[in-house]
Amino acid sequence: MRNKIQVAFDLGSHSIKSAVGRIQPDGKIEVLSIAEIQSKSIDCGDIVDKDLLLSHLEILIEKMEKDAKINIDEDAWVSVSGRGVRSINSSTRIRSRENTDFEIDEEIKQKLLNQCSDVQVSSDRYVLHNIEQGYYIGSSPLIRNPIGMVGKSIDAKAHVIHVRNFNLSQLDYCFNEDLGIEPFPVFDGYAASSSNLTHDEKELGVIFVDIGSDKTNILIFKDNYLIHSKVIPIGSRFVTKDLAAYLQTSIAEAERVKIENVSAFSDFADDSKVFEIQIPNDDLKKNVNEKEISKIVELRFEDVIDQIEVQLKNIGKSITDFKSGIKLSGGGSKIRNLDLLFKKHFADIPVDLMKITNIVYKENFEDKREYITLFGLLAWPIFNVEDKSSSLKIKDVSGIKKSISTLLKGIFE
């Protein structure tokens, strides 16, 4: 897949982003074209205006084809996100009927992974990612790759990320039927984390927090395994709405205030600073204190912090188990002093804003965290080595899973 042209679409609620690039020999992504358009066709991962989405995708495709001097008519990596996404840790076992040793091969390994998802995921949902978390052969310690080993039984652990079939069928129809592009769906949080977290960070333990417009993805890695993921329905747009309601102003004006005048950590807001905001349908303006509105924003982001603590409690982990700390990303993380607010609540571990370092382009994207999912999608062929499911076409998945199950049926209990 290296040097092959990659096409990616990040379908967000605030905007739709797209890019064309190729993977260089050193693993960096050479971006040939990048485009973005504000769109209200997506709401927390759901297509709410298909005609609008299609028209915006056509605009992006036209621009990318012109910039990169290619025809986009084959396949693309497409983000899947929002309230339709769920995940669960699952486990299953295979053992020989006659209590004799058998050799573990790729087919047995795939059957185990399929069983992990079949047990937990209902028929009205599609498995986006079936991510290995290790294997036990008899009473062995945790094994990363069991291929070629022998035993009387083998247990598998997997982290299964799934989404409603409805979401995928709408996505497939829009891209495949209307645009002639085969979409390969990827959970946006997994794409964003895979492309920028290092092996050491995942090994030592890291909490990746990707704050978007209408949701926040929390992905937790330990010992180089993804051990937990959760989509929280809180994003930066909620902050904007809180400000609009409090200030009795428009969404657009509240968004401007959020970007220009707010500190996510109110202790670092200037109590003496006063600025003007526009009153809708009026020529008058009113004065607002920076510290006062920063306290409102801080409360909303503390909701995200509370959810991180809830997720850690749900998996029986302490914050100090994650030596690489918290990595903040996404467009919603660009509010001033957000990292300092997190450091206040998580004083025992590092808290850092993610840097985008693997991109080759005429612009510097190091601090443009709103593009981390898009670039993660472009880089997906590098990072999905432990995940077989996302490389399957949407319409082929059920048939492939059925054929594998039929092939192995009867060999084991």
Give pLDDT, residue 162: 96
| pLDDT, tens digit (0-9, with 9 covering 90-100), for 314-354 | 999 999 999 999 999 999 999 999 999 999 999 999 999 99
Count of CB atoms situated within 10 Å of the CB of 34: 25
Instruction: Render pLDDT for 7-44 as a digit per residue (tens, 0 to 9).
Output: 999 999 989 999 999 999 888 899 999 999 999 999 98
Mean pLDDT of 386-403: 40
Nearest of 8, 4, 5 to residue 60 by alpha carbon = 8
Residue ranges of domains in the chain, CATH in brackets: 5-83+166-197+361-388 (3.30.420.40), 85-164+393-408 (3.30.1490.110), 198-360 (3.30.420.40)
pLDDT given for residue 2 in this prediction: 58
What are residue 160's DSSP bridge partners?
88, 130
Phi, psi of 100 (to 5 degrees): -115, 160
Listed in sequence order, the DSSP H helices in 262-350 are: 290-314, 338-345
Q: Is 357 exposed, middle or buried (0-12, 13-18, 19+ CB in 10 A)?
A: exposed
Where do we find the tokens 């009153």? Answer: 279
Sheet strands (E) in 107-215: 125-137, 150-151, 153-164, 182-187, 206-211
Taking the C-alpha atoms of residue 401 and residue 389, their distance in angstroms, rounded to an integer, is 10
pLDDT in tens, 261-306: 999 999 999 999 999 888 887 777 889 999 999 999 999 999 999 9
Residue with tokens 């749900």: 314
What rounded mean pLDDT belongs to the chain?
Answer: 90
The answer to whether 276 and 285 are in contact (CB under 8 A) is yes
Alpha carbon distance 320, 350 (integer Å): 10
At 276-286, the pLDDT tens digits run 888 887 777 88
| Tokens describing residue 211 | 């704050």
Local structure of 289: helix, strand or coil: strand
Tokens of 264: 């996510």
Is residue 410 predicted with pLDDT exceeding 50?
A: no
Q: Which residue has the higher pLDDT, 108 or 404?
A: 108
Ranges assigned E (strand) in 96-241: 102-103, 125-137, 150-151, 153-164, 182-187, 206-211, 216-222, 225-232
Which residue from 385, 368, 386, 374 is spatially nearest to 21, judged by alpha carbons? 374
Let me know: does 276 contact 352? Beta carbons within 8 Å: no
Full-model pTM: 0.90
